[in-house]
A = this chain, B = another copy of it.
Amino acid sequence: MRYITIVIGDELLIGQVTDTNSGWIARHLTPFGWEPAGVMTIPDDAGAITAAIDRAFAQVDVVLMTGGLGPTKDDITKSTLCAYFGGEMRLDEATRRNVDRIFERRGIAMNALTAGQAMVPSSCRVIVNDVGTAPIMWFERDGKVLVSMPGVPHETQTMMERAVIPQLVQRFHAREHIAFSNFIVVEVPESELAMRLDDFERTLPPELHLAYLPKQGVVRLRLTGVADDKLWLGNTMESHTTRLKELLGGDLVATRDIPLAQILGEKLVGRGLTLATAESCTGGNVAHEITLVAGSSAYFNGAVVSYANDVKTGVLGVNADDIARHGAVSQPVVEQMAAGACHVLRTDCAIATSGVAGPSGGTSDKPVGTVWIAVRCGNRTTSRCFHFVGDRSRVIEQATTRGLIMLIKLLGC
């Protein structure tokens, strides 16, 4: 099934906000075999909305629309959709009760502006928004479907998962069943992986499809199956998932599509281990990624960002002679940083980084992008030198990813 996403919002067009909904939608519809034919980002303007819907329906049968539904501006979007699909604006009781409920919980009274959120075109079927006040509106005409959703990513994404995706699948794949499995592989180049899986891919039944999403030392694989026969699909997916796990072996670090820091966190919790970081060039970004995971306080004690050499020696206990002899960006220093983090922050494991993020500070010996990373668990330490390409923020990002991968690998499967 091909679809087009229409993103409405002046704030997106002028670059004040970056659209992440269209990408999220694509990542979550691809497993069902859905293919995005395009994304149109348009202003909060009736003429632009009508023209975009016309152009989209000329190409595809399904249009997903996000934005244009805030309390101060939903008039334009809703009245345009009402004019397009026919009918008149009416009060939707379920939405009004939902708005009341949300406002009561927030302890504020509904005003005329917010009361307007419960008005919807009579030509749509309403899906009540569990996590916000703007209703989701499902329009259908001549076999074509348009679903209008709010622009707030949290609301759109929650309601897509809870209601819109299941209903789209039900509507367009009534007789088909869909199944998918995720696999995260680290430190195997995509080309090497493709060779290893060549035979597996060539012998896949036509109902199954394997997709690759490579990024910075991580390859996310997604096996999707679409078939009429549910029992056959279940068995086939299971046997191919088992076979794929065997082929991936120790390079497979997760069978769900979750962040690396969460994979690491689950391994630590499973083994009852605690974690700290000692960061120079990554400047706290490894700790930031780790603490973005809800519940990380169960295993993450803390971090020492040792930008100054004084902090490396004074707080982490790195030998000053080693800094003088080998430089701050060196194997002995980064290994001592990891050991120091475990000691000072009283943890079993640590990730340590020291490098030249740039744009200045590079030498012919250690050019910009040179990063030493050490990971430690108990008495085992692994360290490695990387040469990253890109600007300061890209070097920091890559070093962060590699540090997480190295500790995941050290902890094993």
Contacts and interface: CB of A to CB of B under 8 A. Distances in A.
A13 B36 contact: yes
A38 B48 contact: yes
A360 B294 contact: yes
Contacts of A357: 291
- Size category of the A interface is 35 or more
Copies in the complex: 2
Interface string A353-373: 000011111000000000000
* Interface SS of chain A: mixed
A301 B297 contact: no
Interface in A262-311: 277, 279, 282-288, 290-292, 294-297, 300-308, 310-311
Nearest to A30: B14
Interface centre among A215, A282, A284, A303 (most CB of B within 10 A): A284
Contacts of A17: 23
A26 interface: yes
A13 B41 contact: no
B301 A311 contact: yes
A24 interface: yes
Contacts of A26: 13-15
A358 B154 CA distance: 15
Interface in A213-227: 213, 215
Nearest to A287: B284
A16 B390 CA distance: 19
Nearest to A297: B307
A307 B300 contact: yes
A151 B18 CA distance: 16
Top 8 closest A-B pairs, CB basis? A283-B291, A284-B287, A284-B284, A15-B23, A303-B305, A15-B26, A39-B41, A15-B27
